[in-house]
Amino acid sequence: MHSPECSLFPEHQRTLLELAKASIRHGIAEGTPIQVELAKLPPELVTPRATFVTLEQNGGLRGCIGCLEAHRPLAVDIAANAFAAAFRDTRFSPVRAEEIDGLEIHLSLLTQPEPLLFTSEADLISQLVPGRDGLILEEGWHRGTFLPSVWESLPDPKEFLHHLKRKAGLSGQHWSSTLRVQRYRAEIIPGP
């Protein structure tokens, strides 16, 4: 699968990864995300960006939280999402101090979502780019997203869409003329 390189300088990528880990450590000690000192950071890390932070342990998912809209500075979003992935992902128990060194932290920096125009499910599926597209699916109050990395476990576009519908709380076969889908891409900063 295609994993786009991050446009940030390597030192900025390291700063964000260190900030994510520091926020988790701060969460263990204080119960809150770390406060980011924006004045000490370069403009690239202060620009608003939407991000997801994914935590893995022994090759398995340990937490994943993010935002689809860019509403705060990149460094602040990373710190907040790292804390949330470690302590607020309801699928998992909170991360414990002894787990921190074994965590793999992966950062996804998202592009602005763009609506996809389609006339049928087959038309929508034909527009998907496996390995590159992240999708947001909405139908009424139902909403779900899959990051581009999900293609690694669901490489077939039809299955990818089917599982995304289920994640949004719909039937995998659900289809209607009011279904909305947006596409985004993610720059990946892999953990060490």
Q: What is the CATH number of the domain that holds 118?
A: 3.30.1490.150
Do residue 127 and residue 63 come from a single domain? no
Among the candidates 78, 111, 144, a domain finishes at 111
pLDDT of residue 3: 44
Q: Which two tokens stand for residue 16?
A: 């964000």
Owning domain of residue 21: 10-111
Burial class (CB in 10 A: 0-12, 13-18, 19+), 116: middle
> Do 48 and 97 share a domain, yes or no?
yes
**Encoded tokens for 175:** 């289809």
Percent of the chain that is helix, strand, coil (3-state, to 5): 35, 25, 40
Residue 74 is assigned to a structural domain of this protein: yes
Last residue of a domain, one of 80, 111, 142: 111
Residue 4 lies in a domain: no
Q: Are residues 107 and 34 in the same domain?
A: yes
**What pLDDT is stored for residue 1 in this prediction?**
40
Is the overall model pTM greater than 0.75, yes or no?
yes
Number of domains forming the structure of the chain: 2
Q: What whole-number distance in Å separates Cα of residue 52 and Cα of residue 78?
A: 7
- Can you give the pLDDT at residue 2? 40
Q: What is the pLDDT of residue 121?
A: 96
Give the 3-state secondary structure of residue 163.
Answer: helix
For 92, the 3-state DSSP assignment is coil
Per-residue confidence (pLDDT) for residue 130, from 0 to 100: 97
Choose one of 64, 88, 111: the last residue of a domain: 111
- The number of C-alpha atoms within 13 Å of 122 and in the hemisphere containing its C-beta is 0
Low-confidence ranges of the chain (pLDDT < 50): 1-3
Q: What is the C-alpha to C-alpha distance for residues 59 and 106, in angstroms, rounded to an integer?
A: 12
102 and 120: one domain? no
pLDDT at 4: 53
pLDDT at 68: 92
Separation CA 146–CA 161 (nearest Å):
9
Task: Say yes or no: 89 and 178 in one domain.
Answer: no
